[in-house]
Amino acid sequence: MNNGEKSEENGAEVRKSSPLRSAVINFRVVGAILMREVITRYGRNNFGVLWVVGTPLIFTVGVTILWNVYGRHGGHTGITITAFAWTGYSTVMIWRNATAHCGKAVEPNAGLLFHRNVKVVDLIYARSMMEIAGATGSTIVVGLVLMGSELIVPPKDVLMMLFGWMLLMWYGFAMGIVVGAMTERFDWFERLYHPAMYFYLGISGCFFMVVWLPTYLQRWAVWVPTVTVTEMLRHGYFGNIVVTYERPGYLCVYNLVTTFIGLLLCKETQYRIGHE
């Protein structure tokens, strides 16, 4: 008998079949949760979904205006505040939203785990995908608007920026899995995580370029994962007029390790689920 693949008469499948088949089911399940999350968060009317992009959009625009007003800018030649804000703040939205919304992603949806094909990781995947897609969409929209209105010039090297952005999305995704599982496992984690995230904002690379830092700080700054991203984005955007210190190889390894730890934690959480 073809064990578990499909019942003889009735349609509903069982996970744990061929890897391809379970990948298809996995994809479908995450898609279903994603749609459900979008409707739950943004309401039913058609333009509600626009908020996925709209909320981060307002954030970026607001921060750009603030920075322009305060003139937060070291007088570095060739760097406009608006472009600097766009390449900096958009990265914050990815890691902050992905992790913040993955925290406690499991508990309110625990009822869904009664459907065998829905796993803890699926709930977390759906949340982080929604956030990453939203923040990416808004970054693109804001960038196009700024370029269209000639507030910033087009980037010098879009490929470099794309590469940096992919690493950033992976980073947000991996951190989301870890935070999602940790908040579920330990209550204290959420209380620690919020202040930690706030401090991280300061060192994330959003507000500075490594080359502006004193030498003794530069040595440490390059080990901050998202600094590689902001350096790459600015390298790609401003071109060779700026000196950047990115370490994409290091970030890949960091992401790989984080993803692995996150998946292990999810597996452990899955094991402890029960007793509603």
Is 276 an interacting residue with respect to another protein (CB under 8 A)? yes
Is 1 an interacting residue with respect to another protein (CB under 8 A)? yes
Q: Shortest CA distance to 97 belongs to which of 89, 107, 87?
A: 89
Q: Are 160 and 232 in contact (CB under 8 A)?
A: yes
Q: Annotate each residue in 2-21 with x if it binds another protein (CB under 8 A) or - if it does not, as one string.
A: -xx-xxxxxxxxx-------
Q: Are 128 and 172 in contact (CB under 8 A)?
A: yes
Between 1 and 69, CB nearer to another protein = 1
Q: Are 42 and 48 in contact (CB under 8 A)?
A: yes
* Radius of gyration of the chain from its Cα atoms, rounded to whole angstroms: 21
Coil, helix or strand at residue 180: helix
| Shortest distance in whole angstroms from residue 38 CB to another protein | 11
Is 107 an interacting residue with respect to another protein (CB under 8 A)? no
Q: Which of 49, 61, 112, 224 binds another protein (CB under 8 A)?
A: 112
**29-48 binders of another protein (CB under 8 A):** 29, 31-33, 35-36, 39-40, 44
Is 188 an interacting residue with respect to another protein (CB under 8 A)? no
| Shortest distance in whole angstroms from residue 108 CB to another protein | 9
Q: Binding residues for another protein, how many (CB under 8 A)? A: 39
Q: Is the dihedral of CA 83, 85, 87, 90 positive or negative?
A: negative
Whole-angstrom distance, CA of residue 86 vs CA of residue 100: 21
Q: Which of 25, 100, 252, 263 binds another protein (CB under 8 A)?
A: 25
- The values of phi and psi at residue 205, to 5°, are 100, -10
Is 23 an interacting residue with respect to another protein (CB under 8 A)? no
Side chain identity at residue 221, one-letter code: A
Q: Which of 57, 63, 94, 118 binds another protein (CB under 8 A)?
A: 118
Between 29 and 221, CB nearer to another protein = 29
Between 13 and 157, CB nearer to another protein = 13
Is 113 an interacting residue with respect to another protein (CB under 8 A)? yes
Region of 55-63, 233-241, 246-254, 264-272 interacting with another protein (CB under 8 A):
264-272
CB under 8 Å to 76, separation ≥6 — which residues? 209, 212, 242
CB under 8 Å to 202, separation ≥6 — which residues? none
Is 114 an interacting residue with respect to another protein (CB under 8 A)? yes
